[in-house]
Amino acid sequence: MIKAILIFNNHGKPRLIRFYQYFAEDMQQQIIRETFHLVSKRDDNVCNFLEGGSLIGGSDYKLIYRHYATLYFVFCVDSSESELGILDLIQVSTIYIFMTVFVETLDKCFENVCELDLIFHMDKVHYILQEVVMGGMVLETNMNEIVAQVELQNRMEKSEGGLSAAPARAVSAVKNMNLPEIPRNINIGDINIKVPNLSPF
Amino acid sequence: MPAVSKGDGMRGLAVFISDIRNCKSKEAEIKRINKELANIRSKFKGDKALDGYSKKKYVCKLLFIFLLGHDIDFGHMEAVNLLSSNKYTEKQIGYLFISVLVNSNSELIRLINNAIKNDLASRNPTFMNLALHCIANVGSREMAEAFAADVPRILVAGDTMDSVKQSAALCLLRLNRTSPDLVPMGEWTSRVVHLLNDQHLGVVTAATSLITTLAQKNPDDFKTSVSLAVARLSRIVTSVSIDLQDYTYYFVPAPWLSVKLLRLLQCYPPPEDAAIRSRLTECLEAILNKAQEPPKSKKVQHSNAKNAVLFEAISLIIHHDSEPTLLVRACNQLGQFLQHRETNLRYLALESMCMLASSEFSHEAVKTHMETVISALKTERDVSVRQRAVDLLYAMCDRSNAQQIVAEMLNYLETADYSIREEIVLKVAILAEKYAVDYSWYVDTILNLIRIAGDYVSEEVWYRVIQIVINRDDVQGYAAKTVFEALQAPACHENLLKVGGYILGEFGNLIAGDPRSSPLVQFNLLHSKFHLCSVPTRALLLSTYIKFINLFPEIKGTIQEVLRSDSQIRNSDVELQQRAVEYLRLSCVASTDILATVLEEMPPFPERESSILAKLKKKKGPGALPDVEEVRKEKNTSVNGGVEPLGASATPPSSTDLLSLSSPTSLTPASTSSTAASLLVDVFSENHVPAAPGAPLGPVADDNFSRWASSVVSLCNVRKPLGGNCESPPAHKLSPRRFVCKNNGVLFENQLLQIGLKSEFRQNLGRMYVFYGNKTSTQFLNFSPSVICQDALKTHILLQRGTALCVRGAQLQQVLNIECVSEFVEAPILNIQFRYGGMLQNIAVKLPITLNKFFQPTEMTSQDFFQRWKQLSAPQQEVQKIFKAKHSMDPEVTKAKIIGFGVALLDRVDPNPSNFVGAGVIHTKMTQVGCLLRLEPNTQAQMYRLTLRTSRDTVSQRLCELLSDQF
């Protein structure tokens, strides 16, 4: 079973954390740090599996990870799927493929996914992950199916947003109208969020 | 078009995230976050009701703050409110927050459960999916209680949408894993199997995962899934890649499903139906064939997917372990991967080969790849892979290649990563011992091991080497010579000094003839290193010195001088001081004869499981060793045994207590005599076993003998009464309950006599070999054993040779034939009379013949078992006992004990895998009594519950008493 899915960048800053087994919050942070420490010191051309994490489950769990550009994708898996109680290597290899599926899906959904997409659309990443992994188990592996589900979600969001969110947005826009400290133009690295100029009533 | 619309997020959220990213310092970030938290808190607490959009936005901000590593202690209520919204996006974020942040102990669970219940009943597939996801992600017991009935219903309902079915299957799987007791089997189980035929491959995949888990617990209920799975697999394997459209992943048809189906098949033995079996073999062959075909795509994803299926197929082949051709083909395939440029493949190939190495069909085939594996050890850049290579070398090692493999491992050890050195040391030590043909090679190897990686050589390793040297006469001289030479090195590891001190103290005389290693040279060599050592080593060296006094009277003066020096006799360490004082005194008062007796050469060690092996097992955790089977074999092939289990050679002699001095502090002069007496018992008594750390599987008392030397003193005290010969020595009866689960061992021991037993039982008959060992140096006169027993048992003494036992070490063997006429409680009594030193000695011991010895194990299926269990449901037929564990609750030990008890241990009968279930029939001459038993350990409470059902109440009662005493 997948115990946790962690995505962090080259500096160890978490970009997505999802635990499928309960850990207290400070423990979660410790696990992230330990995992980053283990993974980040490895060369890029060594194998993608490693043991040695001490915080989740002890000896029978492995880290399966990939490094894409600025991000590490790490799945922490244990042996509960195997009746022998020994971590199954085959599981390792299939999870590895599956991880590729997940990344490919993100790529497709975001059109060339980059770290910023993960930051600003954390909720969306979670939703995509939800279509793929459920309670630590792999739900769907067919990328087209996943993308179709995500698109369906978007359509629903749009239809809801169109009907109900607009008035709410208008109200908050009016409230914020005279506050000078709200920036008109926010520069954050390579993306630009334009705040529309609001004409006064 | 991207599936995620980047534009219409929540603006406030984006602003907040940008702010955080623009923060120049950690402090600024924390300040910004605190400001935001205060803002959100006031918004949530405010009088005005928030609209859904704002709630969603704030909850999302909280999630982001949580991601940054800050604790979130509010907002849960708002998230729960979002669940009951009828807007998808609000519901969605509510569920997300809950599954990320609400732990399974939360009190909110009841509110959440309500919302989930509504969504499950809503018949809106998206809402149902969200609810099922939440159940699976949280997976708490409360949720399992609330939904264990609903989820299966949704899963098998005819009108459920495919995507919901898929979620429901996994959700049920999760509940089954977290709280198996709450998910009852029902009529839905048979319908679940038919999901394997579903049109939608996603549903089939999820259902296969579910069935695999359920089948592991109740194989019989899901037997029909085998033929369905084989049929499905065969359709996938033979399909053209376009048949499965979306589920084809880089030209590999449905790799994920194939893997799952292959895994499901591993829950069962090879199919019995010939047609299904041949179809499965065809599938496996087809998968192996495909591996040889040129790749359909250059993409790494293609080969990954193909190999995943291949590896799982190989795993199934190994599991079935019945088709030699397939096994060898699998091995050759893996051999190719060993040289593949993809690191992952090399890693996986090494790991799979480890398993192949333990199959008799493919062991030879694996061995052909030895050179490649060795070169992997040398050239592989990744420590994960090198570790696998070490494992594989260990697994493929046998007598033919042991020397080479051990040499390579030693070689590697010099440069090995620190993290795996200790494990390699243990492995080398085990292999060297197991496959040693030539003991000088063994000694060389271990000394090398200490030289190369002394710091990683654990106590067990050097204990073991000493055990072996002591048990093998032929290697002692060589060992003494080699350690003497090794000690010449200017810097040698302390472990080497320990081995050296011990061996020279025992066998230094064997090399003393050579003037280059004369007694004085030996002594000076050891003493030159004395001051650099730790206290335990110095204590050991002091004992070596006193042994030298016995071996080499000519240097007695020199040694006494050393002992007398202030640095010894007034040493600040109590242990050292005491040894110096006592040894000095001993050397002054005792006559040469007494010295010779007290400081006699160490007796051979009784055969036990190698302490190193136990250590390696502990390190790796149970089951993690690839060759658990071999461990059992090892007992027979192990070389250490100068001593047969019992009786065949000199009996474990009087000075066994040399081994057992457990703590130096117990050795204050006043207490020596009393402790020494009880120590003798400690060595063998079962009670001692669980107390010994690091001995999960058997008695390993070796750690005791680092105290080897201090015991010499106490031995003197024990021997004193013997010198007078006037009082009857204290006898040490070893508890008869040790024999309930085993048939061989030492029954009785005192200072004169040791009685050993070996017995075998078949149906209602038994034969017992009794060995009497004389431990003194004089004869016993009128030695006459007799047996008293009740009517229920008949015993007959077959053979009795000689009535006198002569010198020490000689022994008498007696055979008893036993017949069980009817059930019994009282064990027969063995009465022994003899004259020793003019005194008539009388010894009476209970023979360990208990009712359970007449068990015949009975194998039965789960169905049979429960049927019979129900038949024996009359109240007097069942006896139950709940009791506290007296020993460690290691399941392997428990298993061994239950098997030793005589019943068949039935696997996979009890739904709870940690319970033990057994069945057997007790044979007596009059009747046969069937018996079923069940043992439920509760590791948390350290308690057991034992239930026995037999057709006779007295038998149930007696067996329950016997067995419950064992844990």
Contact B87 A93 (CB under 8 A): no
Tell me if chain B has a CB within 8 Å of the CB of A176.
Answer: no
Contact flag B67-A15 (C-beta cutoff 8 Å): yes
* pLDDT at position B534: 87
Residue A79 in contact with partner chain B when CB distance is under 8 A: no
B201 and A52: CB-CB below 8 Å?
no
Enumerate residues 121 to 150 of chain B having a beta carbon within 8 A of any beta carbon in chain A: 126, 132-133, 135-137, 139
CB contact under 8 A, B136 and A135: yes
Give pLDDT tens digits for B755-778.
888 888 888 888 888 888 777 767
Q: What is the pLDDT of residues B503-525, one digit of tens each?
A: 888 888 888 888 888 888 888 88
Q: What is the average per-residue pLDDT within A12-30?
A: 87
If pLDDT is split at 50, 70 and 90, which confidence band does B279 have?
A: very high
Query: How far is CA A67 from each of CA A10, A44, B790, rounded to the nearest angstrom?
Result: 9, 7, 77
Largest Cα separation within chain A, whole Å, is 71
pLDDT at B237 over 80: yes
Q: If DSSP codes are grouped into helix, strand and coil, which group holds residue B701?
A: coil
A47: left (phi over 0), alpha (psi -120 to 50) or beta: beta
Contact across the interface for A45 and B343, Cβ inside 8 Å:
yes
The pLDDT, as a whole number, for residue B585 is: 85
Chain A hits for B166, Cβ within 8 Å: 139-140
Residue B106: the pLDDT is 61
Residue-level pLDDT at B592: 78
pLDDT tens string B563-620: 888 888 788 888 888 888 888 888 888 777 888 877 877 777 776 666 677 777 666 5
Q: What pLDDT score was predicted for residue B652? A: 35
Rounded percentage of chain B residues whose pLDDT exceeds 70: 83
Nearest CA in chain A to B86: A160
Can you tell me the mean pLDDT for B229-238? 90
Q: Which of A9, A48, A93, A124 should we substitute to test contact with B (largest number of B Cβ atoms within 10 Å)?
A: A93
Residues 252-281 of B with CB under 8 A from A: 255-256, 259, 263, 266-267
CA dihedral of B360, B362, B364, B365, whole degrees rounded to 10: 180
User: Average model confidence (pLDDT) for chain B?
Assistant: 77
Give the per-residue pLDDT at B675: 34
Binding-site residues of B, in ranges, read 11-12, 43, 53, 57-61
Diameter of chain B measured on Cα atoms: 107
Of the candidates B122, B130, B48, B136, the one whose C-alpha atom is nearest the C-alpha of residue B83 is: B130
CB–CB of B710/B575 below 8 Å?
Answer: yes
* Amino acid letter for position B251: F
Extract long-range pairs of B913-918: CB within 8 Å, 24+ residues apart. Answer: B913/B217, B914/B939, B917/B865, B918/B857
Q: Which helix (H) or strand (E) holds B864?
A: helix B862-871
pLDDT exceeds cutoff 80 at B678: no
On the 0-12 / 13-18 / 19+ scale of CB atoms within 10 A, B663 is exposed
CB B790 within 8 A of CB B826: yes
Q: How far apart are CA B477 and CA B514, in angstroms?
A: 12
Helices B343-357 and A89-110 pack at an angle, to 10 degrees, of 150
CA distances, A37 to each of A10, A34, B11, B344 (Å)? 11, 5, 34, 21
Q: Which of B304-308, B723-727, B833-837, B943-947 has the lowest mean pLDDT?
A: B723-727
A193 touches chain B (CB under 8 A): yes
- Report, as an integer, the average pLDDT of B151-155: 89
Q: From the centroid of its chain, how far is CA B628?
A: 9
Residue B700 has pLDDT above 50, yes or no: no
pLDDT > 70? residue B646: no
Taking an 8 Å cut-off on Cβ atoms, the answer to whether A142 and B201 are in contact is yes
Q: Which residues of B touch A164 (CB under 8 A)?
A: 52-53, 87
Higher per-residue pLDDT: B795 or B468: B468
d(CA B582, CA B451): 33
Residues 830-859 of B with CB under 8 A from A: none
- A104: distance to nearest CA of chain B, Å? 11
Say what the alpha-carbon torsion angle B693, B699, B700, B705 is, to the nearest 10 degrees: 100
Residue B229 has pLDDT above 90, yes or no: yes
Residue B925 pLDDT > 70, yes or no?
yes
- pLDDT confidence bin for B729, thresholds 50/70/90: very low
Nearest CA in chain B to A150: B3
Residue B338 has pLDDT above 90, yes or no: no
With beta carbons less than 8 A apart as the criterion, state whether B511 and B469 touch. Answer: no
- Give the residue among B350, B424, B429 at the shortest CA–CA distance from B382: B350
Measure the CA–CA gap between A165 and A39, rounded to whole angstroms: 42
Q: Which of B241-250, B354-363, B536-545 has the lowest mean pLDDT?
A: B241-250
Asked whether the predicted pLDDT for residue B332 surpasses 90, the reply is no
Position B691 scores a pLDDT of 31
CB contact under 8 A, B53 and A168: yes
Cβ within 8 Å of B, A 95-124: 96-98, 100-101, 108-111, 117, 119-124
Burial (Cβ within 10 Å: 0-12, 13-18, ≥19) of residue A49: buried
> Which pLDDT band holds residue B635 (cuts at 50, 70, 90)?
very low
Cβ of residue B218 closer than 8 Å to a chain A Cβ: no
Q: Pick from A93, A109, A123: which is nearest to B308 by CB?
A: A93
pLDDT tens for residues A149-179?
A: 888 888 887 787 654 444 445 545 544 454 4
CB contact (8 A) between residue A48 and residue B344: yes
First to last CA, chain B: 67
Structure tokens of B248?
């084809």
- Between CA A120 and CA B573 the distance in angstroms is 67
Helix B109-121 with B76-83: angle, nearest 10 deg: 20
Quick one: CA dihedral B288, B198, A148, A2, positive or negative? negative
Locus of tokens 């002992």:
B563
Q: Are B328 and B361 in contact (CB under 8 A)?
A: yes
Pairwise CB contact (< 8 Å): A123 & B384? no
Cα radius of gyration rounded to whole Å, chain A = 20
Is the full-model pTM beyond 0.90?
Answer: no
Q: Which amino acid is at B666?
A: S
CA-nearest residue of chain A to B17? A120
Phi and psi angles of residue B662, each rounded to the nearest 5 degrees, phi first: -95, -35
ipTM: 0.75
Q: Is A66 on the interface with B (CB under 8 A)?
A: no
Write out pLDDT tens, residues B883-914.
888 877 888 888 888 888 888 888 877 878 88
The number of angstroms, rounded, from the C-alpha of B543 to the middle of its chain's C-alpha atoms is: 36
pLDDT at B608 (0 to 100): 62
Residue B139 with chain A: CB contacts under 8 Å: 20, 135
Smallest CA–CA distance, residue A73 to chain B, in Å, is 15
B window 35-64, beta carbon within 8 A of A: 51-54, 60, 63-64
| pLDDT beyond 70 at A195 | no
Task: For A62-93, write each residue's pLDDT tens digit.
Answer: 788 888 888 898 888 875 544 333 334 445 56
Rounded to 5 degrees, φ, ψ at B652 are -55, 115
pLDDT tens-digit profile of B100-112? 887 655 667 888 8
Q: Which amino acid is at B201?
A: L
The predicted structure's pLDDT at residue B230: 93
Cα separation of B313 and B327, whole Å? 11
Q: How many angstroms separate the CA atoms of A74 and A90, rounded?
A: 17
Model confidence pLDDT, tens digit, residues B61-72: 888 888 888 888
Task: Count Cβ atoms within 10 A of the Cβ of residue A152 and give its class: 0-12 exposed, 13-18 middle, 19 or more buried.
Answer: middle
Residues of chain B with C-beta less than 8 angstroms from the C-beta of A48:
343-344
- Give the mean model confidence (pLDDT) for residues B845-862: 84
Which residues does residue B845 pair with via DSSP β-bridges, in sequence order?
Answer: B830
pLDDT at position B477, please?
86
Please tell me which of the candidates A88, A97, A121 has its beta carbon nearest to residue B304.
A97
H-helix or E-strand containing B796? Answer: strand B793-800
Q: Residue A154's closest chain B neighbor by CA?
A: B4
Q: Give B232 or B808, the one with higher predicted confidence.
A: B232
Which of A97-106, B37-46, B265-274 is predicted least confidently?
Answer: A97-106
SS3 sequence of B816-863: EEEEECCCCCCCCEEEEEEEECCEEEEEEEECCCCHHHHEEECCCCHH
Contacts of A168 in chain B (CB under 8 A): 51, 53-54
Q: Where are the beta strands (DSSP E) in B276-342?
A: none
- How high is the pLDDT of residue A59? 58
Q: Rounded to whole angstroms, how far apart are CA atoms B176 and B190?
A: 16
Nearest by CB to B621, which of A60, A128, A144? A60
Nearest to B382 among A47, A81, A147 (CB): A47
Q: Chain A interface, mutation test: which of B1, B4, B383, most A Cβ atoms within 10 Å?
A: B4
The answer to whether B74 and B41 have CB atoms below 8 angstroms apart is: yes
Shortest distance, CA A46 to any CA of chain B (angstroms): 6
**pLDDT tens for residues B158-179?**
888 888 999 999 999 888 888 8
Backbone conformation region of residue B115, classed left if phi is above 0, alpha if psi is from -120 to 50, else beta? alpha
- The residue count of chain B comes to 967
Asked whether B380 and B338 are in contact (CB, 8 A), the reply is no
Arithmetic mean of pLDDT, B443-462: 82
Cross-chain Cβ contact B133/A189 below 8 Å:
no
State whether residue A70 sits within 8 Å of chain B by CB: no
